[in-house]
Chain A
Amino acid sequence: MAQKDMSRFRWPALLLQDRFAFAAALVLVAVAVCAVLGPLLIGDLATRQNLRDPGREPFSLDHGWAFVLGSDSLGRPVAARLIAAAGTTLSVAVPAVLCSLAVGSVWGMWAGYHGGWRESVSLRVADVILSFPSLLLAVVVLYVFSPSAVGIVVVLAVARIPVYLRTARAESAELRSRLFIDAARTFGTTGWASIRRHVAPTVLPTLLTVAALDFCFVMLTESSLSFLGIGIQPPDVSWGLMVAQGRQELQSAWWIAVFPGLAIVITTVSATVLAAWARLSTDPGQRWRHGLRRGGSRLRRPRPARGDVGPGPSPTAESAPTGEGPDLTETPPPPLAVSPAHAVSPAQAGAPVAGADTLAVDGLAVDIRTPAGPVPVVRGVSFAVRSGETLALLGESGCGKSMTAHAVAGLLDPAAEVVGGQARLDGEDVLALGPRARRRLAGPGLSIVFQDALSALNPVLTVGTQLAEPFRIHEGLSRRAARARAIELMERVGIPEASSRAGAYPHQFSGGMRQRLLIAMAVALRPKVLLADEPTTALDVTVQAQIMDLLAELRSEQRMALVLITHDLGLVAEHADRVAVMYAGTVVETGPVTEVFGRPNHPYTRGLLESVPAEQHKGSRLDSIPGSPPDPRSVPTGCAFRTRCPMAREVCAGHRPTLAGTGADRAAACHFGKELADA
């Protein structure tokens, strides 16, 4: 029971889902029981007419349970008829849905997996069937071959095949381009074997949801057929037939049509809920993502006790210095021994001082909300950068470098929130500003260049329009003047034939050109600080060199401070003045690039430098850091690097090292940083 309570606490959303699914399953079981045992239960009650007492009102037990839902115009009890009809209804709807599901899905997966002519022919066939009004088809067929349950099933199944065919085709065609299908082909797994192993398990759950919805359609079509007299033939009774019969008397006796209608809806909804649940629970990836989305939509709430986050860092070592965040009650850690960069004291921070930091980030902490509680992804990051200087934020994927940049730029994902720290732009803490003040800063104060230029540009606006936007918003320029400025800017970043290409759309530019456009947009208002988040990762080396040169030129031209976020040691070596090495959400070492790379003072930096395949290692084994970076949910206590560190000792498990000075303008967060520096 305790186990259950805990999972309820962690997965309220999922459990709610489960509860629905459970109820849905109960409904379906009840319907199935009625279908099977119905005839035994009610005998001839459903067909026995009682003309003396037609149209009894529902909700009265005076005449026995069978009349609880009233009676119809022939005095037959609606409740009993509902139960009797369950069997007939299901015996038409279930086979019809199953037939179309089976044929449509197999056909669709085959067409989608192979593509080519098989795909186009199949789609044409589907179009033909779909464009033929299914009711009309049913009428024709059933008039020609006298109405029978089998006939109805066949007609309904054929009419619905295209729906499954199309869905299955679309999903399999998407899978066809996926690498794991190619991987299977390299072992010789092709055709049906591949469809069975890879395509079907992915596509079928979706189709199941479609099928569940289709129940409703099939039952209603059957109702229409019954209305036309070619559906289920009395004295047999189905829900559809009941709706059809009740329709004429809707004014006088609403219950005759409404209850069977409700039965159809409730059955369909239950089937849909169960199908959705089945789809979620068969997909190993979905469960977690689903829970995450629900959790993320919740607003800021008090943190649960630390222990819930898992084997996380110990409370005192973990908490970040925080100016706001009233929910943080833990004692802040001792102040950093040395401010990571140029030691700006808060007193100094009031006004911009010559030579002072343009941007100083101090103790920045960011949490991500998950169903399992907040996960700290940035855990007290501090760095500073001066105008005209390039600071590299170096780290492996998932170490929190982008999250840091996004927090500073005010572009955090809704699921993430800043829970502590400051980011002072010329002395003013931008994290404390309201959204409007923030927006005013974006552009002239602080701007950002993203890795993926294509998704960062608006695909439906011309680049000229997009580049003119900052001038219109911030400088209030006229359309024409702003456009002239935009073209000037395009020329500045090296786009040939700028005035004619201003009318082009982003997708008409190559990757390198798009990155140039993005940079142009970012520097349009001459920002004091430019955050460049992996600006060249998507580009080729020869193009990357061009872009880095452009950034360097702009930086010295505009006296910007450039924060270069990257995982590429070579880029840092060539293009940065100072570097802040990040690991598991914190800065572990800072200093001038030459010194840090020449003489690393932190075991992680050292390991990283040694992992670079350089020529003197040629052919031999590389010195690699064992293991992989920790999951933010389970960062080791004490020093986050200790599980991979060759120098780890007992003290490393107990105490989290803080960034402490190890030399002029250098700092490292290691208990033995000083020793490494002196060695």
Chain B
Amino acid sequence: MPEPGTLLEARGLTKSFAVPRTAKGSTRLRAVDGVDLRLGRGETLGLVGESGCGKSTLARMLLMLERPDEGTVRFEGVDPFTLSGAKLLAWRRKVQMVFQDPFGSLNPRLCAADLISEPWLTHRGLVPAPKRAARVAELLEMVGLRPSDARRYPQEFSGGQRQRIGIARALALEPDVVVCDEPVSALDLSVQAQVLNLLSDLRDELGLSYVFISHDLSVVRHVADRVAVMYLGRIVESGPAEEVFDRPHHPYTAALLSAAPSLAATGGAKRERILLTGEIPSPADPPSGCRFRTRCWRAEDVCAEAVPVPPLGEPSHTAECHFPLEETPAVAGSGPGGGSRSA
């Protein structure tokens, strides 16, 4: 694939929250700690990591829902945090979000049509009032709902249908980038596949770029061109999806891949799994040096002392580790996934 032009870029993003004093005496929780990110035009960037690792906080900073303590966000070279008034509104149009929770992200007092047309109340010039009903119907059809659903309220829809409304609302402003924060994790498997299909159809039709956040590796693997793996507020590995999934460099990525239950394991053919010991440390008291060292089976003394830095230059596949896994094939998930299934 040709290197796409950069659309959205983040550098050194850091965000901390005040927390009650912890056992070790810190009062700040660094939810995101120095994250670099690049999203090319028409590209889908998958962001994976366990809960609490800072994925949502990162997404919220990209959307300007949260102001970073340090670092910059650039969209087509412009830092949105320096914008105001009409320029800011114009920026808002370009970057939209689909939320994780299709129940909480829709105001239960508004019907589908009101929800979808809500952005136009702020962006008045975009769709003139007389055309709104027709455009709502169009958007509803685009996301696979019926125009007659316009007068129904969120609680009359199923989870998958609500997520479609959320997607339609994000599309109402004709954005370039859609940040999807766990768009399918609240959905049933049979419905999840429909929504994933919808998202990839829309990408092809409208030329969207996605930042696709998920804890589900198989979903990210399916949709993402590039992936970034987060652990305790930092991106520990990033690269083209295929490479990262097939040849993880970072021990954490390898462990994550091997822990994810997969259909391939059917038949008691128990695969060799990397079983991590210990719990995820609190982001308020991250370990010194490498953050993963308390659970890493490759850790050595140097890991406690020095923070690993990614190699210089900008290779496409990087890992923050002193002892990256060399080209060893992934422990799991690389085999033919449904090998034991017949069609």
What is the interface of chain A, defined by CB distance below 8 A to chain B? 178-180, 182-189, 193, 197-198, 201-202, 282-285, 288, 396-397, 510, 512-513, 540-546, 548-549, 567-571, 573-575, 593-594, 597-599, 607-619, 621-626, 628-629, 644
Contacts and interface: CB of A to CB of B under 8 A. Distances in A.
A186 B92 contact: yes
Q: What interface size band does chain B fall in?
A: 35 or more
A647 B273 CA distance: 39
B255 A542 contact: yes
A178 B103 CA distance: 10
Contacts of A284: 108-109, 153, 155
Contact of A621 (B60, B173, B197, B268): B197
21 contacts: A182-B60, A185-B63, A187-B118, A187-B122, A189-B119, A193-B121, A198-B107, A283-B109, A396-B190, A570-B265, A573-B261, A573-B262, A574-B261, A574-B266, A594-B267, A607-B190, A611-B192, A612-B189, A615-B218, A616-B338, A624-B191
Given A183-B99, A187-B122, A623-B193, A573 B266 contact: yes
A613 B193 contact: yes
Nearest to A600: B341
Contact of B256 (A542, A548, A626): A542
A443 B222 CA distance: 43
Most chain-B CB neighbours within 10 Å: which of A201, A569, A599?
A: A569
Nearest to B190: A625
B341 A540 contact: no
Contact of A545 (B189, B218, B275): B275
A396 B194 CA distance: 14
A614 B263 contact: yes
Given A397-B188, A543-B279, A624 B222 contact: no
A629 B261 contact: no
A188 B88 contact: yes
Given A184-B118, A198-B107, A615-B221, A542 B276 contact: yes
A316 B266 CA distance: 38
B20 interface: no
B266 A179 contact: no
B279 A510 contact: yes
Given A284-B153, A597-B341, A180 B262 contact: no
Contact of B218 (A182, A599, A612): A612
Interface in B255-289: 255-256, 259-268, 270, 273, 275-277, 279-280
A35 B196 CA distance: 63
Nearest to B277: A546
Contacts of A282: 109
B211 to A, nearest CB: 13
Nearest to A618: B222
B65 interface: yes
Interface of B: 50-51, 60, 63-65, 88-89, 92-93, 95-97, 99, 101, 104-109, 118-119, 121-123, 153, 155, 158-161, 166, 169, 173, 188-194, 196-197, 200-201, 215, 217-219, 221-223, 245, 255-256, 259-268, 270, 273, 275-277, 279-280, 295, 333, 336-338, 340-343
Nearest to A583: B190
Contacts of B105: 179-180, 182-183
Main secondary structure of the interface of A (DSSP, over half): helix
Nearest to B245: A615
A622 B222 contact: yes
Contact of B122 (A188, A609, A623, A644): A188
B259 A542 contact: yes
B337 A614 contact: yes
B151 to A, nearest CB: 11
B256 A598 contact: no
A618 B104 CA distance: 31
A283 B215 CA distance: 34
Contacts of A570: 218, 260-263, 265
A23 to B, nearest CB: 27
Contacts of B200: 619, 621
B190 A545 contact: no
A198 B99 CA distance: 17
Most chain-A CB neighbours within 10 Å: which of B189, B336, B338?
A: B189
Given A183-B105, A575-B261, A623-B193, 4 more contacts: A186-B92, A594-B268, A624-B190, A625-B193
Contacts of A599: 342
